[in-house]
Amino acid sequence: MRILIDADGCPVVKIAENIAAEYKLECIIVCDSSHIFHSDHAKVVTVDKGADSTDFKLVNLAGKGDIAITQDYGLAAMCLSRNVFAVNQNGLIYDNNNIDSLLLSRHTAKKIRRSGGRLKGPPKRTKQQDDDFINALTALIRNNINNM
C-alpha cells in the first residue's frame, strides 16, 4: 500500500505525508511543473503542465490497494476502476456508490459555467475538515493494511 497525492491545489499534502510516515508507507506527491514541492518523507514526481497530465501520471503509477488523495472526481473514478482507494481532502471516501452522482454534479456545474453562470466557491478550510481527512485516511489504512 502506497499513498499517492494529486498535489495540484491539495491543502492536505503535509498531513498525508505525516500519516504515511507514521504508518511507514511510501508516499508519492504528483504535481505539474507550475508547483514546487520538496519533501523529506515523500517522492515528488513532477510532470509537464497540460490538461490532466498530473491525473494521468498518478493513475498510471497507482496499483491495486494504493490510496489516492484527490479532489478530482474524474481521477477518483479512474482510480476506483483500478482498485485504488480514493479519498478527498475533506475525508470523503470515493466508492462505487457515490462516484456516479459526483461525476454528474461535476458535469452539471461545468454546463452552468459554460453558459455564463457562476457557482459559489468553497468556504475557507476548517480544522474540522482536516480532522475528517485524518480520520478517513487512517481508517482506510487500518482497514486495508493487512491486505497488502
Contact 95, 51 (CB under 8 A): no
For 60, the domain range is 2-147
CA distance 113 to 64: 35
pLDDT score, position 25: 97
* CATH assignment of the domain containing 110: 3.40.50
Distance CA 72, CA 86 (A): 10
Residues of the chain with pLDDT under 50: none
**C-alpha pair distances (Å), 32 with each of 37, 57, 93, 98:** 10, 10, 24, 28
Quote the pTM value.
0.85
- The CA radius of gyration of the chain, in Å to the nearest whole number, is 15
Total domains present in the chain: 1
